[in-house]
Structure 1
Amino acid sequence: MNYFAHLHIASLTHTSWVGNLLGDFPVDAAQLDADLLMGWRLHQKVDVMVDQHDASVQFRSMPRKGRRRFAGIVQDIAMDYWLIQYWERFSQTPLDVFCHQALTGLVRDKERSPERLKNMISSLEKENWLSNLGTVDGVEKALFSIMRRWRHGEHLKAFVDDLEPVIEQARLPFLSLYPDLLAFVNEEMKKAEATHSLG
């Protein structure tokens, strides 16, 4: 899952918007405030669950030009695309309202964010592009952003060259995976609440 899905999970679990994105940014978890740490931990658990899910294994094994080793990166972004396409199935909040809520929450904790996340939030303040992640152009821009800053970025070019079929390949895996992910997150929050009450 990429930014949009982690923000959706933050809204469902009433955990920190910034905290739920921190798993994609370099941080020292030991230095995080308690609310950010909870979001960071949830992000880590989500990533592990998604990576191990049968639908993710299926997506990574599909025939395509891009190397299987890097398909998980593309899957995360394509899953955001499909979450936005199927938004009304998973949320009663209108998409534009949710994007505004997410931006407001991120700006609130902007100064507690690492520099690269601060820059991303500043970009969202100028133009809230979250809903654009549900377009082919938005997926392409997200991949090019990774390609620019990642030393192995050239390996994603094959996916970009065949982008629309690759996005379509993620549709059924997303529909299989995302309900399971939300159920998983719900159980994790119940466990956290039970632990807190015992403490």
Structure 2
Amino acid sequence: MNFLGHLYLSNKKPNILIGNFIADEIKGKKYLLYPNEIQNGILFHRKIDTITDTDNNLRSLKKHLYPYVHKYAGVVLDIYLDHILAKHWAQFCHIPLKTFAWNSYFVLLKNQHYLPIISKYILLRMILGRWLTSYSSFDGFSKALKGMSLRRVTGINLLNAIVPINENYVLFENTCLLFLKDISEKNI
């Protein structure tokens, strides 16, 4: 899962949301430098990543992506999960996506003293680009892939992943929807 999924699964708990947002920038045991609830958010993020990475159905989708984007299949799938969550937002949350996004931005801005520099930069770009709401369209998903390709010096155009996704659209959408419903209902 990418940003939207992690923020959504934080269950409106501000400190969990903060930890969940910064977790990718906090390596090893450095999470212990944060207050307990933010530590819990960081650990929660890692748990979500483990569940996502080890899910057999999602692994089968990565096999479709691998010939096109190689080791970045997981990154593409994380962004795609956010696309499906945003596209079907009303099935998961009674708060409109736009309201949820602004509430999340507010919590993160209010607590930016906890954010590493890279997370502050990401947050600024996220707000200016309206990333969380843009995921709801396939065009927004494509823009996220393009932006990721430009930010990472990989030599791989992540937009190549659109080919297998379009060829197997129903499979990708249904598998991701099922996963999102399952992880939303789990008490993780």
Q: With the length of structure 2 as denominator, give the TM-score of the two structures.
A: 0.84
| CA distance 1:13–1:75, shift in 2 (3 Å) | same
- Partner letter of residue 165 of structure 1? N
Residue equivalent to 2:6:
6
Q: How far is 1:167 from its partner?
A: 8.3
Deviation at 1:139, TM superposition (A): 1.7
Partner residue, 1:191: none
Identify if the C-alpha distance between structure 1 residues 181 and 12 changes in structure 2 by more than 3 Å, giving closer, same or farther. Answer: farther
Q: Distance in 2 between matches of 1:51 and 1:63?
A: 14
1:40-61 residue CA offsets vs partner (Å, 9 max, x unmatched):
1000000000111122112112
May I ask how many residue pairs the two structures share in their alignment? 185
Which deviates further from its counterpart, 109-118 or 27-36?
Answer: 27-36
Match of 2:16 in 1: 16
Partner of 2:60: 58
- Structure 1 regions of 5+ residues with no counterpart? 189-199
Percent identity over the alignment?
22
Sort the Cα spacing of 1:115 and 1:100 in 2 relative to 1 into closer, same or farther, 3 A: same
Conserved in 1, the CA contact under 8 Å of 2:20 and 2:45? Answer: yes
Amino acid in the other structure paired with 1:33: P
4+ aligned runs moved over 6 Å, structure 1: none
SS across alignment from 2:68: coil
The 3 A distance-change label for structure 1 pair 123 and 156 is closer
**Offset of residue 21 of structure 1:** 1.5
- SS of 2:95 mapped into structure 1: coil
Counterpart of 1:117, as a letter, is: S
**Deviation, structure 1 residue 125:** 4.3
CA contact (8 A) 2:76 2:161 kept: yes
Deviation per residue, 1:149-172 (Å, 9 max, x gap):
333252535225x38617835311
1:1-199 alignment runs, 5 A limit: 1-12=1-12, 15-27=15-27, 28-62=30-64, 65-126=67-128, 128-152=130-154, 154=156, 156-159=158-161, 162=163, 165=166, 168=169, 169-184=171-186, 186=187, 188=188
Q: Matched residues in 2 for 1:167 and 1:11: separation?
A: 31
- Secondary structure in 1 matching 2:10: helix
When normalised by structure 1's length, the TM-score is 0.80
Report the RMSD for the aligned CA atoms in angstroms. 2.5
Q: Would the aligned equivalents of 1:159 and 1:166 in 2 still touch at CA under 8 Å?
A: no
TM-fit CA distance, 1:178: 1.1
